[in-house]
Structure formats: structure tokens, C-alpha cells
Structure 1
Amino acid sequence: MESKNTAVGPQPLSKELLEEKLAAFDSVPLFMKTLPGEETDDAVLAALQDLAHDGTPDEISQNFKEQGNEYFKGKRYREALGFYTQGVDAKPTDTMLQEALLCNRAACNLELKNYGSVLRDCSKALTLNPQSSKAFYRSSLALMALERFEEAIDCCTRCLSYDQDNKGVHAALERASSSKAQKDKKEKERQERLQREQAAKLQMNIAFRQRNLIVVSQEDSSNPYSPHFDPEDPTQRTLILPVFFLYPQHATSDVIPEFVEDTTFAAHLSTMFPPQAPPPEWDRNGEYVDGKLIIYAMTYRRRLLKVGKNMTLRDVCKAAKAKEGDAKDGLEVKDGCLTFVVVPKGDVEVKWVEEYKKTKNGQNA
């Protein structure tokens, strides 16, 4: 029986093996990406170094430019940039060659996102040739990447003043104009939002002064509640504030997230502690019942105000105002909230008031 020869075609290489074989070419003088900058004992390398720098500055620069072009076509931008740089460093006397090297190096830096280098090279190219379309075009792309749209538009406009049919520059101008319009719109919206916020803040500050409310802290950014005007009041005269009710002997509290200032305290207490309802878990003695509770407000100057159950929040704000000739006083707003103490009538109330006065006197001593 005759044996059959099975033909085996080219086999694909793994990525690692392919990179290894390509890297091996870098040690072969004719395939090197760049020539060594230091002296070498390799005769072939030495000859290539001499050859690369053999000739006039223009010839040397042209040689490096052509090598850079080959690498650029292969999308090997870093290697291409190195050749263009060597071409620039050779100091050619031909201004067109200088311009081309600078513009080509700018193209590499565009791909590498080195936008500052792009602008520097294009600026040098425009010094050599004020009508360098490539320099204007690449400058506009770099400026757009940096969101400097007005300058990008200026570059395109200058270029089109003498190169009217340049499609690339027309496209760049359209992109820059559209991006600038979007940026301007966002900035306008941001400014309008800031103005609204500032106006609202000013209006709130005026409302606080009118109600003798004194901000003592605004650090708790996690507080989901904040003072605001009643959205159902078109005159913007009714304030709504979050209010804490503290129960000191139980070290606990309740929050009323939206206390309308014209609402009475009795309305909230009757809802929170109705006589027929079971007491809260923390009120083991059943002391917190509507009709048997007293509310106190503490002012900025440590005055203690007894709040009648039929008083509104606006009434308490008026009562907290300092007497004529005394230092400024009012209710404290801490982290956007007002705080009141609620205690049962009788011994608990008396004990708490005495302790508060002791603390007040201790602070004033």
C-alpha cells in the first residue's frame, strides 16, 4: 500500500508566539524601529547609523520623514513620532520640509492624545507657513479634544478664508460649532439654576429673619428634610419646617418632617398621642397622652419658652424674639430643623426645667 502524503498548510500562530517573532526582528539591523543612539561594535549597525546621518540636513530629514510615514501608515504612532522628531532635530533648511515634519509629528500626537504637543508643533508650522491647512486642521482637533471650542472655530475659520473647499476643515468647523452650542446651552442652564438657588436662598434668609430663626449649624448633609415654602401658597409666605420633638427622660425623639408654621402644636400632639391609642413602646408608664403634655422651646440665648397647645409655630417664633434693647435672640435652626422638648405635666416637667436652668447657669458662669 502506498502511503499518502498529507499536505499541511500554514498554521496560525498564538498571540504570544507572534509577538515573540516580531520582537526578534528588532535585533535585525534592517528591521529595527530606531537606530541605537550610542556607539556600537556591530559593523552593520555602525554602517546604518552612518547612512542615516549621511548627506545634507535636508536629505537626512527627508529620509527620517519617509521612514516616519511608513510607520504612521502602519498605525505605529510612537515609532513614527520618533522618526519625525529625528527629522526635525536634523534642522533642515527647506521650510516646506520643516512644516511637513511638524504637521506629521502633530498627527502622531493627536493619535496619542498629547494635545499640548499637537498645539506646539502646529504653532511652529504656522510660523513657517501662515497658510498651513494641516496645521490649522490638527490644531482644531486638539482644541476640540480640550473643549476649547471657540479657539477651534477660529482655527477653522482662518483656514477656510483661503482654503474654502477643504472638506476636513468644514467638518471640523461643524463639529466645533455644534459642541460649542451644546456647551453654551449647558452653561446657560447651570447659570440659571445657580441664580434660582441663590434667589431661593436669599428668600429663605429673609423669611428666617422675619421669624427670628437663627441658623446655628448646617453640617448634616444627610438630612432628607429641609425648610421650604408651601407649594400650595402662591404668595410664598407660608413656611414649612422639619421639627424634632425630644422626650428627654426616655432619650428618644420623633420628627415631623413638614410642620406648617400656621398649624397648632395641639394638632400634632393629638395625632401622635391620642388618649384611646396604646402608648409607644418606650412610654412604659403611659405618661405621654394628649392633654397631659407640656412643650418647651429653647432659644438661642438659652431662654425657656412654654408653648401653649393652641399656639402655632409662627406664634412661637414671634415669642422667641428678643426684647427691645436685648441681644438678638430666636429659635435655633440646626441642620435645617427646629427642636422642642415634650414632657409630661408634674414631677417630670419640674425636674427637667430645674436641670435645664442648672445647665444654663453653668454655661453662663
Structure 2
Amino acid sequence: MSTSSYGPQPVPKRTLEETLKDFDSVPLFMKSLPDEETDDPTIAALQALAHEGTPDEVAKNFKEQGNDYFKGKRYREALGFYTQGIDAKPPDLALQEALLCNRAACNLELKNNGSVLRDCSKALMLNPKSSKAFFRSALALVALERPDEALDCCDRCLAFDPENKSVQGLRSRAQQLKAELEKKERLRREKLEKAKQADMKLKIAFRERNLIAIPNKTGSQNPYEPHFDPEDPTDSTLIIPVFFLYPQHATSDVIPNFVEDTPFAAHLSNMFPPQAPPPTWDKKGEYVDGQLVIYAMTRRKRLLKVGKKMTLRDVCAAAKAKDGDPVDGLEVKDGCLTFAVLPKGDVEKKWVEEYKSTRDT
């Protein structure tokens, strides 16, 4: 059964913002009057009243209304009244200055720092010794992290108003900001320089080890990267991410931190111990330590068979081109070396033949 719509209905709940908005259509409570002509006699009368009197009187009236709204923290409405006062073009320069500085105060609260600087600049053209204009300019400049300009504003103000406590405090704040930004910039440059030196050191290490970096043109997808062993006091041992590919199964494993002086056999014994269950993809149980062989592929497509006791550094040395031949070495693609791991015997033989056939064609 549907609810009856007869009888008194509950009044819909309204937000405070909706209620206040309704007042904007009531002439007595309007925050600002429309500029265009209107047929509403009450609004027309208020428009005439608001602009009645000399430009100075009109501007002063708008300034007072703006001050009331500013005290109530209604900064947008206050800004509108100050703007109407400025637009009245009062001949009184002090009144013009006050309206500009007050509008700047509103824009400070609204975080419109560019507008603050424009109004304060106009105020200073009217009165080069306007402490409020210098102070509010400096506040905006601090917010914009432009401490040198803020300090200049403070110093210019203190030159004729040396006892101004607000400006003195703001100057200290600007000085602190300058020190913080200089420290931040210094640390940024030191970090860049450190990264530059580390990159150069890594390039030299690659060259010494016959490693050829092949960056990813679309950006690195590798969360790991080559680096020096932090536990090596000589800072000379390289650690490189390594992929072990299993070609017959189109799958792979990654060793994110392969220390170059570690034998390959150490990793194979950990990954494929004889008594452990085989990986899910190894249905025949062929991948067992002692029954596997590793191959490295060089830049010039040479195949290097990795001996059981060989370390990564040993393989790098073996990848070096013979004297007189073009440069060769192991490719570090997207920060990672790649090796093929195969079961000894027919699988190995077939893969080697296919690789050489593809390479030769």
C-alpha cells in the first residue's frame, strides 16, 4: 500500500548555504547590487542610494560595507564591495590606497597571490610609503616562495617604518624561507651530482666488464637495477638483476641481486635442488641441479656455455671480443642480464641448433 500524499507534508530540510542563497534575492540582504538596470523598484532605489553622493562618499560607503563582510570572514563578498569602491574612482588618494590594500587582504585570504601583488603595486604608486602594501606584497611573495623579493619589500618598508613589528616578523619568516629553499636546492644539486657520479662509475664498470647497456625506449619496466654492493668496503663489486630463461617452456625466473662473484652453480642448487618437487611447469622433472646447462648470448650472437664453477664476472670476461674483432659483450637490457637454462642432452642440442640457425639467417 502506497503512502498517502494527503494531509500536512514534512518540510524538506535545507542546508544553511541554500537558506543564505535565498537571501541574495531579497534586496535588503543582497551582498551586492546588480550593475544592470532593473524593473524592481526596491533594487533600483538601493542602486541609486548606493551611488548617491560624491565619488569619495560612494567609495567610502562601499569600503565600510566591505569592512563589515571582511570582519565576518566573508572575503569574496568583501572583495566585491572593495572593487565597487575602486570602480567609483574616488579622487581621495588615501581612500584609493585603502581600498586597494583591503582588496589585497581579501585576495590573501583567498590565496589569489597574483592579484595581491597587482593591487599592492597600484597602492604603492599612489603612496610609496604604504606599509600595508609592502607588508601584504611580502606575504604574497612568501606564499609564492619568492623570499628575495619578499625581503626586498620588508627592507623598503623598514627603511621608513623601522618599528613595524609585523614587517619585522615577516622579514624573519622570509629569511627562514630563503634558508630552507637554499638548503633544499643545495641538497637537490648534491643528489643530482651524486647520481651523475654514480652513473659515470657504473658506465666505467660496464665497460671494464664488457657489458653493453640497452635501455628500454619506452621507459624502464624493471623495478631492479645494477648497482654496487653496499656491503663491499671497496665499493667495487657489481650486483646485477639476472633473468634465467627456460626456452622450451617460455617462462623465466628473476634473480634481482646477482652478485658478480657468485658462481652460477650456487643459484641453480638453490632453485632446483634434487630432492625438491619440480616447478609446476616442469612436467617431466627435467630441471634438476646437476642436469642443467646455462648459455649466455653476446651482442654479436655468440653462444657462451657457462661452466658450473663460473661466476658472472668470469662470463663477462669470456664475452670480450677477440683482438681485431668488433666490440662484443653481454647485453644488459633494461638493466637486466639474460641467460638460457636447459636440460642437458637432446633439449640442449636442439635449442643450440635452432639458435645458430636463426642467428646465421
TM range (shorter): 0.7 to 0.9
Q: Report the CA distance shift for 1:294/1:220 in structure 2 as closer, same or farther (over 3 A).
A: farther
Q: Report the CA distance shift for 1:24/1:330 in structure 2 as closer, same or farther (over 3 A).
A: closer
- Residue 294 of structure 2 aligns with which residue? 295
CA drift at 1:213: 0.8
User: Superposed, which structure 2 residues align to 1:264-303 within 5 Å?
Assistant: 264-275=263-274, 279-303=278-302
Q: Report the CA distance shift for 1:282/1:68 in structure 2 as closer, same or farther (over 3 A).
A: closer
> Letter of the aligned partner of 2:78 in structure 1?
A
Identity among equivalent positions (%) equals 73
Q: Alpha carbon RMSD of aligned pairs, Å?
A: 2.6
- Residue 5 of structure 2 aligns with which residue? none
> Letter of the aligned partner of 1:214 in structure 2?
I
Q: Is the 8 A contact 2:138 2:151 kept in 1?
A: yes
2: CA distance between counterparts of 1:230 and 1:341? Answer: 25
- Residue 168 of structure 1 aligns with which residue? 166
Q: Which moved more, 1:349-358 or 1:220-229?
A: 220-229
2:342 equivalent to 1:312: no
**So what's the TM-score if we normalise by structure 1?**
0.85
User: Superposed, which structure 2 residues align to 1:98-113 within 5 Å?
Assistant: 98-113=96-111
Q: Which of the residues 194, 201, 204 maps onto 2:202?
A: 204
> Letter of the aligned partner of 1:123 in structure 2?
S
CA drift at 1:204: 0.7
User: Superposed, which structure 2 residues align to 1:23-172 within 5 Å?
Assistant: 26-172=24-170
5+ residue gaps, structure 1: 1-13
> Letter of the aligned partner of 1:158 in structure 2?
R
Q: Is the 8 A contact 2:226 2:336 kept in 1?
A: yes
1: CA distance between counterparts of 2:176 and 2:151? Answer: 10
**So what's the TM-score if we normalise by structure 2?**
0.86
Q: Is the 8 A contact 2:225 2:336 kept in 1?
A: yes
2:253 equivalent to 1:254: yes
CA drift at 1:293: 2.7
Q: Which moved more, 1:297-306 or 1:228-237?
A: 228-237
Q: Deviations over 1:323-352 (max 9, x none)?
A: 333332210112222111122222111101
2: CA distance between counterparts of 1:279 and 1:51? Answer: 93
- Residue 8 of structure 1 aligns with which residue? none
User: Superposed, which structure 2 residues align to 1:331-350 within 5 Å?
Assistant: 331-350=330-349
2: CA distance between counterparts of 1:35 and 1:237? Answer: 77
Q: Deviations over 1:277-308 (max 9, x none)?
A: 55445444443344433221101121111222
Aligned to 2:190, the other structure's residue is in SS state helix
> Letter of the aligned partner of 1:254 in structure 2?
D
Aligned to 1:323, the other structure's residue is in SS state coil
CA drift at 1:99: 0.7
- Residue 3 of structure 1 aligns with which residue? none
1: CA distance between counterparts of 2:38 and 2:325? Answer: 92
Q: Is the 8 A contact 2:221 2:334 kept in 1?
A: no
Q: Deviations over 1:112-145 (max 9, x none)?
A: 2211111100000011111101001111111222
Aligned to 1:85, the other structure's residue is in SS state helix
2: CA distance between counterparts of 1:253 and 1:19? Answer: 62
- Residue 234 of structure 2 aligns with which residue? 235
2: CA distance between counterparts of 1:224 and 1:274? Answer: 28
> Letter of the aligned partner of 1:360 in structure 2?
R
> Letter of the aligned partner of 2:306 in structure 1?
V
Q: Is the 8 A contact 2:66 2:81 kept in 1?
A: yes
Aligned to 1:161, the other structure's residue is in SS state helix
1: CA distance between counterparts of 2:279 and 2:62? Answer: 87
CA drift at 1:242: 2.0
2: CA distance between counterparts of 1:49 and 1:348? Answer: 95
